[in-house]
Chains A and B, each alone.
Chain A
Amino acid sequence: MQAADAETAAQLAASADAVRTRQARNRLLRGGGALLGLAVVMFAINAFSHGSFLTAGNLTNVLRQITYNAILAIGQTFVIITAGIDLSVGSLIELTGVVMASFANAMPFDGPLLVVATLFVGVGVGAFAGFVNAVPVVTLNLPPFITTLAMMLMARGLAFKLAHGQPVPLASSAFNSIGTGFVSGVPVPVLWLAVMVIVFAVLLTRTRFGRYVFAIGGNEEAARLAGIDVRLVKTLVYVISGGCAAIASLLLMAKFSSGSPNTGIGNELQSIAAVVVGGTSLAGGRGSVVTTFFGALLIGLLNNVMNLLNIESYTQDIVLGAVILIAVVVDELRKRYLAR
């Protein structure tokens, strides 16, 4: 009996290994296929744009351009995996930007301490807004679409009022290195993004909290009956999303040396697009921070290419819309293929 059990266990282990190998192969298949396709397209574009695309400078530029959207999309990924949505992140960039700039100007001290203090204030405001988003969702079961839509309007209005409709110029120069600096050739905002992708990817895949995020998106009632504090976890994802918006806002503020009340319009939809193009399901229960990053990258590359090819902005919108649709359709077809 014991020997038989040991044998069963060994078979199970072997079988699990086989599945992991197959999963790895599938990952390679889709990752590898996508990469190869991307490479071919990039070389073609490079030829068309007379070599201006595939330069270190241009590619660094793309990464810098996508940083803000990718950071928003990281928070958005957490929300969407719980089958929620956060429409307020664009406005929260504006609100936290204005608040942070005003705060920094009002402080009597300067230097790195001011940067850290400003970051804390900004993230605090963003996280609090996320908390306000979540409260009606977790207590009254209201749809997050509505609560975050309300927050989108309120935060934008508040940002305009606080700033009297004008950008708030940043007096301190302590932020310059964050906005425009380089560390061994890599723009500082890109480093921030890299750190955030790693930290949040680990949070999502390796911690209890991350597991609960998936469980709630997959079956909220089963999660609740398993003793998971569903309200707390759902509140935290909106807090994370608001906090991510504040960090994106800090980087933007540092870049332009001002906090502006109208920089975030449309960013909420851009971030949702990045998440969806990255293969996260709007139905919840599935998703990944890393693929969200690639979703943002794909959209960024596309914008960059179209600019290099001098495509007018209306056409760019059409192409972008079509690409989002195609990406989602292809992803769905691929999933069905792999599920067979």
Chain B
Amino acid sequence: MNAIVKTFPGVKALDGVSFDVRAGEVHALVGENGAGKSTLMKTLAGAYRADGGTIEVDGAVVAIDGPRAAEALGIGMIYQEFNLVPDLRVIDNILLGHEPTRGGLLDRKTALARASAVLAELGIGLPLETPARRLSVAQQQMTEIAKSLVRKARLIVMDEPTAALTEREIDALFALIATLKAQGVAFVYISHRLEELPKISDRITVIRDGKTIETRATADMPPDEMIRLMVGRPLAAQFPELPPVPAAAPEVLGVRGLSCGQGVHITDVSFSVRAGELVGLAGLVGAGRTEIVRAIAGADVPTAGEVAVAGARVVIRSPRDAIDAGIALITEDRKAQGLVLGMGVRENTTLAHLRKFVRGVFVDRTAEVAQTNDEIAELRIRTPNAEQLVRNLSGGNQQKVVLAKWLIGEANVYLFDEPTRGIDVGAKAEIYALMVALLERGAAIVMVSSELPEVLGMSHRVLVVRDGRVRAEFSRAEATPAKVIAVAAGVAA
């Protein structure tokens, strides 16, 4: 790809990006949110058309004017949100659009043979007859990879492939990538998890503000150097200093005997959080951490147990009850649960507390705009203005809009579920700083995170969750990665 330019209304997303990928190479692409990684990849996949620049495959300039064209050139895309048809079986998903037919009818035998051959080539097993919706995230990803191989992909682009995987699944994925590399398949690997890049990539390209900053062999690019290139300025320590919890700080959130049967069952969960304290919930994906915070926030209705805010018992049957009790839930999936993408920054920011902006029976837009502009300035949300549709913002800035929505409520309890997933280092640091500011104000915070360094670096106390129960509690001083992983994986306690 050479000097690619792509502009959106009010935003120049790509401004002359160039890079190349060799056969059998894993080329990592890193950059902050909004740096242009996703846009670049969508251009390569034919989802967007470039406004300038050229793309060459095997030395010949090509025009990629749609997903079909990309496919014909051997380019496969595996997005962060998978593109499987949930109700179709795995085998049908793998062969979707390439179903073998005989005399106009589907040829099941050949289909099975072809799917099995691809799985054999990958050295993996998948339940071919199971509907895709019943697969784990890792299995869905394998299905996507198999799908791209059926299409004879020679270059596979993966966007944040490890974001939702457990450690063991990540190892399996890396092994799979190695297998395909040996067969000459090239990868473009987009990730925010910088620590995994030395394990998996051959070369790294850093992009920033829609421009290529530098391409180097992975060995010549230590992490701190990478971060410096990404943010364009030296970054302070990764995690801010946590203010100590005052000895006399009262309990702000009390959870006693909480059980809930929606999603992963949680059973008899009890803990308390004091003013100015941050409690981290660690555990594997699917352990029930999200369900715990959802039950506290009324997103799911608990079947048993009590929640107390500032010492007083509150009955929470709906999100409204929780909001009225001063509990804010920042959900893990901002697009599905946090934002109305077709609305502007202003409308999203005020959505949960629109009451505050009502004069008589009318919504006071001037007041809304004023408050939203304050939040934009305070959280440094990169948007042309308060009216921009949230859909057009980058992931990190979307997350900041979600935060703005809950900050204007001035709650006592903030429940953060994967607050930095899919977000770049710069935005992460800003979100951590914000958490510290909330703690200093006397708020209680519960944070769910799958990134162990984050849980250990940002928590006063760590609770480890497995199979819907709290299995262990560690103070900041006691918590080590080894101890937490042991409990989370069921090896200890």
Interface of A is mostly: helix
Q: In the complex, what residues of B have CB within 8 A of residue A173's CB?
A: none
Contact A219:B339 (CB < 8 A) given known A15-B384, A206-B362, A228-B351? yes
Q: In the complex, what residues of A have CB within 8 A of residue B386's CB?
A: 12, 16
Q: Please state if B342 and A285 are interface contacts (CB–CB under 8 Å).
A: yes
Q: Please state if A218 and B405 are interface contacts (CB–CB under 8 Å).
A: no
Q: Please state if B341 and A225 are interface contacts (CB–CB under 8 Å).
A: no
What is the distance, in angstroms, from A334's C-beta to the closest C-beta of chain B? 15
Give A1-58 interface residues, CB cut-off 8 Å to B: 5, 8-9, 12-13, 15-16, 18-20, 23
Q: Please state if B9 and A218 are interface contacts (CB–CB under 8 Å).
A: no
Is B388 at the interface (CB under 8 A from chain A)? yes
Q: Contact string, A202-230, partner B, CB cutoff 8 A, digits 1/0?
A: 10001110011011001101111111110
Q: Please state if B343 and A218 are interface contacts (CB–CB under 8 Å).
A: yes
The one of A19, A221, A228 that contacts B385, using a Cβ cutoff of 8 Å = A19
Is B191 at the interface (CB under 8 A from chain A)? no
In the complex, what distance in Å separates the CA atom of A340 from the CA atom of B322?
Answer: 40
Q: Please state if A222 and B338 are interface contacts (CB–CB under 8 Å).
A: yes
Q: Please state if A227 and B320 are interface contacts (CB–CB under 8 Å).
A: yes
Q: Please state if B363 and A206 are interface contacts (CB–CB under 8 Å).
A: yes
What is the distance, in angstroms, from A237's C-beta to the closest C-beta of chain B? 17
Q: Please state if B343 and A214 are interface contacts (CB–CB under 8 Å).
A: yes
Give A263-290 interface residues, CB cut-off 8 Å to B: 285-286
What is the distance, in angstroms, from A12's C-beta to the closest C-beta of chain B? 5
The one of A5, A19, A212, A286 that contacts B342, using a Cβ cutoff of 8 Å = A286
Q: In the complex, what residues of A have CB within 8 A of residue B373's CB?
A: 9, 12-13, 16
What is the distance, in angstroms, from A274's C-beta to the closest C-beta of chain B? 22
Q: In the complex, what residues of A have CB within 8 A of residue B351's CB?
A: 211, 215, 222-223, 226, 228
Give B341-367 interface residues, CB cut-off 8 Å to A: 341-343, 347, 351-352, 354-355, 358, 361-363
Tell me how many residues of A have a C-beta within 8 Å of chain B. 34
Instruction: Return the chain B residue nearest A207 by Cβ.
Output: B361
Q: Please state if A221 and B319 are interface contacts (CB–CB under 8 Å).
A: no
Is B50 at the interface (CB under 8 A from chain A)? no
What is the distance, in angstroms, from A286's C-beta to the closest C-beta of chain B? 7
The one of B299, B355, B377 that contacts A12, using a Cβ cutoff of 8 Å = B377
In the complex, what distance in Å separates the CA atom of A221 from the CA atom of B318?
Answer: 12
Q: Please state if A9 and B336 are interface contacts (CB–CB under 8 Å).
A: no
Contact A226:B352 (CB < 8 A) given known A16-B385, A219-B340, A221-B336? yes
Q: Please state if B387 and A225 are interface contacts (CB–CB under 8 Å).
A: no
Q: In the complex, what residues of B have CB within 8 A of residue A202's CB?
A: 362
Q: Contact string, B1-20, partner A, CB cutoff 8 A, digits 1/0?
A: 00000000110000000000
The one of B319, B361, B387 that contacts A16, using a Cβ cutoff of 8 Å = B387
Is B376 at the interface (CB under 8 A from chain A)? yes
Contact A215:B343 (CB < 8 A) given known A15-B385, A16-B386, A226-B319? yes
Contact A222:B361 (CB < 8 A) given known A208-B355, A215-B347? no
Q: Contact string, B323-341, partner A, CB cutoff 8 A, digits 1/0?
A: 1100001010000111111
Instruction: Return the chain B residue nearest A206 by Cβ.
Output: B362
In the complex, what distance in Å separates the CA atom of A18 from the CA atom of B9?
Answer: 13
> Can you report 5 A-B residue pairs in the complex whose CB atoms are below 8 A from each other?
A5-B377, A13-B373, A15-B384, A16-B385, A218-B342
Partner-A contacts on B (CB < 8 A): 9-10, 297, 299, 318-320, 322-324, 329, 331, 336-343, 347, 351-352, 354-355, 358, 361-363, 369, 373-374, 376-377, 384-388, 405
6 nearest A-B residue pairs (beta carbon): A218-B340, A226-B352, A16-B385, A227-B320, A15-B385, A227-B323
Given contacts A5-B377, A12-B386, 16 further A-B contacts (CB under 8 A): A9-B374, A15-B384, A16-B386, A16-B387, A202-B362, A208-B354, A211-B354, A212-B354, A215-B340, A215-B343, A219-B342, A222-B351, A227-B323, A228-B320, A229-B320, A339-B9
